[in-house]
Structure 1
């Protein structure tokens, strides 16, 4: 499997992805807002885009669909629940579906509500998995729930699915928010030496060559995966004294999500 991460260089800091079969050079593009950048990258590597995958229905993830479909003839795939919100969908997907690209690439569809009601993530079935997570999860953070989402469902997605991903899993999110998210981590957990180290190492990185984190990294630097941290809980109690000394994981997650909304 070949993966190309493409930075849109816009105000929302979108990432697009090309996932290609090394043998046939057939490719899928994920959330192609900046069509020209995606097509240029495909041309450079000799990829033929046959599939467009939308992780969810927000405009900055579907805005390039029509142009991409017109220029490539690719089919549009999305969550079955979002198929009426996204124009010209060819196939609605549900949890457990398999997307095949060329002869070699197979991606498992995961139903991951929270950021929106109908959101999918993709997990490759390679020895070292890749997780294409749209706006469900970011490097050192998670998606918001302000535009039709649900924080309780987002917690359930993390608790029942994302927390079970192996340490080796590579994380490919829909936006480049890592620096800001690391700063939030340190605001919540000032003694997190791993987050300090990552921030120092990456604060001047180019998003065109962004660091690809793993779940092992995320478990060290992502507050939303560190719900039992005493430092996080102590800091949260300053804003949410009702949490008490031994809050459950869901209450910590929801408190963090609420703070991040206004941070």
Structure 2
């Protein structure tokens, strides 16, 4: 394990900002740039200088602050090669399987299309941490703005293969609403019931529900559980493919 520090803070209405700092090298990366003023202030408060921007996808609440932070710090922009036409000023376009380094800390790029056509995730295997943007949420997943159900289900399946103790940093505080929906399609799941109760209590105290873990999501997140018999029976899709069950769960969430 390296000397890595992670600073998480709320941005905009429901985004999270993340700064990751490698003490040995002094390098700091911001994961996406939802609110450049807040991100720069958090870095200053920590005594860190932002040297890299790691974008997960092109949406404005993820890449809209790139120019301001680069102007203030000279940070290097790392972003998905698949969306290079929609994220200006990329210094290092990256694709599936590429490595990104923060000092001696390695992040492996995982291509996770679905929410957007070029979305990527930064997985830090040596730290057992992944920054998943808007692909996977605590008890949810991203809307399919550009991708297909098959693409998103493939992307989520890849994330589900990460070690169970991988800590997942997702980009929005959506968990309370996600829990209420999840209970509508998987109401008898004890792991989900316990998770939902914890979420309600934490939000009542004004606490974050991010990060989560792969293990918690595999046990309770319906978007990772289309093979589950109880969910299939509730949806009337006992003999459908996992992709079709996932697509129906996503459809229901969109109108919930």
Give TM-score scaled by structure 2 length. Answer: 0.92
Structure 2 partner of 1:50? 51
SS in structure 2 opposite 1:203?
A: helix
The yes-or-no answer on 1:123 pairing with 2:99 is no
How do 1:101-140 and structure 2 match up within 5 A? 101-102=102-103, 104-126=104-126, 128-140=127-139
Which of residues 133, 155, 158 is equivalent to 1:157?
155
Structure 1 distance, partners of 2:42, 2:25, is 16
| Structure-1 separation of matches of 2:197 and 2:138 | 15
Q: 1:78 to 1:129 in 2, by over 3 A?
A: same
**Separation in 1, partners of 2:59, 2:207:** 23
Equivalence for 2:6: 3
Residue by residue, what CA displacement relative to the aligned partner does 1:145-194 show, whole Å, maximum 9, x if unpaired? 13x222221111123x1121111111111111111111111010111222
- What is the correspondence of 1:31-42 to structure 2 with a 5 Å cutoff? 31-42=32-43
Question: Which residue in the other structure is 2:82 paired with?
Answer: 81
In the other structure, the counterpart of 2:220 is 221
Q: State how far apart, in whole Å, the 2-side matches of 1:119 and 1:211 are.
A: 20
Q: 2:189 aligns with which of 187, 192, 198?
A: 192
Q: Is the 8 A contact 1:6 1:208 kept in 2?
A: no
Tell me if the contact between 2:226 and 2:242 (Cα under 8 Å) persists in the aligned partners.
yes
Q: Does structure 2 conserve the Cα–Cα contact (< 8 Å) formed by 1:114 and 1:150?
A: yes
CA distance in 2, matches of 1:166, 1:66: 35
SS in 1 for 2:227: coil
- How far residue 79 of structure 1 moved from its aligned partner, in angstroms, is 0.6
SS of alignment partner, residue 235 of structure 2: helix
The CA deviation string for residues 41-77 of structure 1, in whole angstroms up to 9 with x for no partner, is 2122221211111100111111111111111110111
2:91 is the counterpart of 1:90 = yes
CA distance in 2, matches of 1:183, 1:119: 26
Q: CA deviation at 1:247?
A: 2.2
1:183 corresponds to 2:176: no
Aligned equivalent of 1:253, options 230, 246, 256: 246
- Residue aligning to 2:27: 26
CA RMSD of aligned residues (A): 1.6
Looking at structure 1, the residues matched to 208 and 226 of structure 2 have their Cα atoms a distance apart, in angstroms, of: 30
Structure 2 unpaired stretches of 5+: none
Instruction: Find the counterpart in structure 2 of residue 145 from structure 1.
Output: 144
Q: CA deviation at 1:209?
A: 4.0
**Corresponding pairs, count:** 251
Checking the alignment, whether the CA contact within 8 Å between 1:56 and 1:79 is kept in structure 2 is: yes
Which residue is equivalent to 2:16? 15
Q: Shift of the alpha carbon at 1:21? A: 0.4
Partner SS state of residue 48, structure 1 = coil
